[in-house]
C-alpha cells in the first residue's frame, strides 16, 4: 500500500530521514509540505536522540521541482493572498535550514529547481549526482529568483551566478559544485548505500561529513569552467541592456546564444533579477536577503507577467508569452525600484533580519 503523506519521516539510528513524497508532481512543495518540514526540523533540533537530518525526494526524477506553480498561478489570477503566506513560511524554513545546528544532508538528485534549491542548497552537506539538474528558472515565467537563491547566485564565482540567474539555465553536478550550490558528487547508484550508512551507528571519530566523503567521487565534467572568460566579462555590467550588448559583441557563439535566450524572458523580471542579485551581494545575511526577496516576490505576484509566464510556459505551453512591458527599453527604473521598496500599509514584512527595512549601502541602480 502506497503512503500518500506528502512528507515521510523515518528515523534510522540517529538520523531523521525526511522524504518529499509527491513524485508525480516532481515533489513540488505545497504549503502543507513546508509546514511539515518545519515541524520536523523543530522537533529534531530539540530531540537529543537525533544527530542528523537527511532530505531526499521520492521517485527517481528529482528532489523537488520547486513550489506548486499552478496553485500560485491560480491564486494570482484570483487576486488571492495565500501565496504570500506560503512564501512567508517557506522563506522562514529556508532560514531555519541554513542555521540548523545539526548536520543536514540534502540529496540533490535529479531535478532541483526553485523551492527545491531553497530546501537543499542552504544545508551544510549538499550532495549531487550525475543526474542532477539544478536551476533557478524564474525569469522564464515572469518571476524573480527567491528562497535565498539571489544570495547563493551572488556568491558564485565571478559572474556565473548572474548568468544563471538571468538565463535560468540548469547545471549539472560539476557546475553546481563550481557555483557553490553543492559540495559533493555521489553516483546515483550509491545513494541507497549512503542512506544506509548515515543511519548506522558511527564511531566517535567518524563524522557525518566523513561518511558522505567516503561515497564521493569526481563528477562528470561540467561546462562553465571553460566559459568563465566570456561570462565574467559580459555579465559584469549593472544594466541588462549592456550585458546583452557585450554578449552580442563578444564573438563567442555560446555568448550569442545566451543573448538570444535572454530575449525570451520577461524584460521586467530580467531587470529586477539583476538588481536583486547585485543588492543581495551587499546584504550581510541570508535573513536580510530573504526579507528583500519577500518584498520582490510580493510585487512580482501582483504583476501580470507572472500569470502570463505560467500560462505560456506551463499551462498552455505555447511558449509565446506576451510580456508587459514588451522590451527592456520600456522598463522604467522607478518600476524596478518599486519591487525593493518597503511593503505598504496593510502588508506585513517578512522580518527575519533585525531591521527588515534595511537596504544595501552604496546602492547603484541595477536594472
Pseudo-torsion of CA 221, 222, 223, 228, nearest 10°? Answer: -110
Our answer to whether residue 118 is catalytic in this structure is no
Q: Which three cell numbers stand for residue 241?
A: 541592456
Catalytic-labelled residue, pool 57, 62, 66, 67: 67
CA–CA gap between residue 122 and residue 290 (Å, rounded)? 12
Q: What DSSP string describes 128-194?
A: E-TT-EEE--GGGGT----TTHHHHHHTSSTTHHHHHHHH---B-HHHHHHTTS-SEE--GGGHHHH
Our answer to whether residue 284 is catalytic in this structure is no
Catalytic-labelled residue, pool 138, 183, 291, 293: 138
Our answer to whether residue 159 is catalytic in this structure is no
Strands (E), the chain: 7-12, 15-20, 52-57, 62-64, 104-108, 111-113, 125-128, 133-135, 184-185
Catalytic-labelled residue, pool 146, 287, 291, 293: 146
Our answer to whether residue 260 is catalytic in this structure is no
- Are 105 and 125 in contact by the 8 Å Cβ rule? The answer is yes
- In the block, cell 544595501 appears at 360
CA distances from 313 to 27, 68, 136, 138, 273 (A): 19, 14, 15, 11, 19
Q: Which three cell numbers stand for residue 243?
A: 550585458
Q: What DSSP string describes 313-344?
A: IIIS-------SS-SGGG--HHHHHHTTSPP-
- Are 122 and 181 in contact by the 8 Å Cβ rule? The answer is no
The helix or strand, by DSSP H or E, that contains position 42, with its residue range, turns out to be helix 31-46
Catalytic-labelled residue, pool 62, 110, 114, 115: 115
The helix or strand, by DSSP H or E, that contains position 274, with its residue range, turns out to be helix 267-282
Phi, psi of 21 (to 5 degrees): -125, 60
Catalytic residues: 67, 115, 138, 146
Amino acid at each position: 500500500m502506497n503512503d500518500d503523506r506528502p512528507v515521510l519521516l523515518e528515523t534510522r539510528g540517529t538520523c531523521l530521514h525526511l522524504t518529499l513524497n509527491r513524485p508525480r508532481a516532481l515533489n513540488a512543495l505545497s504549503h502543507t509540505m513546508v509546514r511539515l518540514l518545519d515541524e520536523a526540523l523543530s522537533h529534531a533540533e530539540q530531540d537529543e536522540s537525533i544527530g542528523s537530518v537527511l532530505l531526499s525526494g521520492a521517485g527517481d526524477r528529482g528532489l523537488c521541482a520547486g513550489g506548486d506553480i499552478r496553485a500560485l498561478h491560480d491564486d494570482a489570477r484570483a487576486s488571492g493572498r495565500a501565496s504570500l503566506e506560503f512564501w512567508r513560511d517557506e522563506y522562514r524554513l529556508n532560514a531555519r535550514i541554513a542555521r540548523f545546528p545539526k548536520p543536514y544532508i540534502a540529496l540533490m538528485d535529479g531535478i532541483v529547481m526553485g523551492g527545491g534549491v531553497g530546501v537543499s542548497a542552504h544545508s551544510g552537506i549538499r550532495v549531487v549526482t550525475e543526474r542532477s539538474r539544478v536551476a533557478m528558472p524564474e525569469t522564464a515565467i515572469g518571476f524573480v529568483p527567491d528562497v535565498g537563491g539571489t544570495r547563493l547566485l551572488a556568491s558564485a564565482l565571478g559572474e556565473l551566478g548572474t548568468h544563471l540567474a538571468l538565463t535560468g539555465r540548469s547545471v549539472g553536478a560539476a557546475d553546481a559544485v563550481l557555483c557553490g550550490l553543492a559540495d559533493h558528487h555521489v553516483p546515483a547508484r550509491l545513494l541507497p548505500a549512503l542512506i544506509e550508512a548515515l543511519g548506522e551507528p558511527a564511531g566517535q571519530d567518524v563524522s557525518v561529513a566523513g561518511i558522505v566523503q567516503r561515497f564521493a567521487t569526481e563528477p562528470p565534467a561540467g561546462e562553465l569552467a571553460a566559459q568563465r572568460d566570456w561570462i565574467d566579462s559580459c555579465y559584469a555590467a549593472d544594466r541588462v541592456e549592456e550585458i546583452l550588448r557585450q554578449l552580442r559583441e563578444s564573438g563567442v557563439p555560446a555568448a550569442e546564444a545566451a543573448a538570444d535566450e535572454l530575449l525570451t524572458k520577461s524584460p521586467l523580471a530580467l531587470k529586477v533579477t539583476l538588481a536583486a542579485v547585485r543588492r543581495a551581494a551587499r546584504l550581510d545575511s541570508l535573513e536580510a536577503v530573504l526579507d528583500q526577496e519577500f518584498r520582490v516576490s510580493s510585487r512580482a505576484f501582483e504583476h501580470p507577467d507572472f500569470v502570463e509566464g505560467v500560462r505560456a510556459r506551463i499551462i498552455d505551453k505555447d511558449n509565446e508569452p506576451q510580456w508587459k512591458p514588451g522590451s527592456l527599453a520600456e522598463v522604467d527604473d522607478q518600476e524596478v525600484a518599486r519591487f525593493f521598496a518597503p511593503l505598504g500599509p496593510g502588508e506585513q514584512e517578512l522580518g527575519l533580519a533585525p531591521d527588515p527595512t534595511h537596504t544595501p549601502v552604496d546602492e547603484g541602480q541595477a536594472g
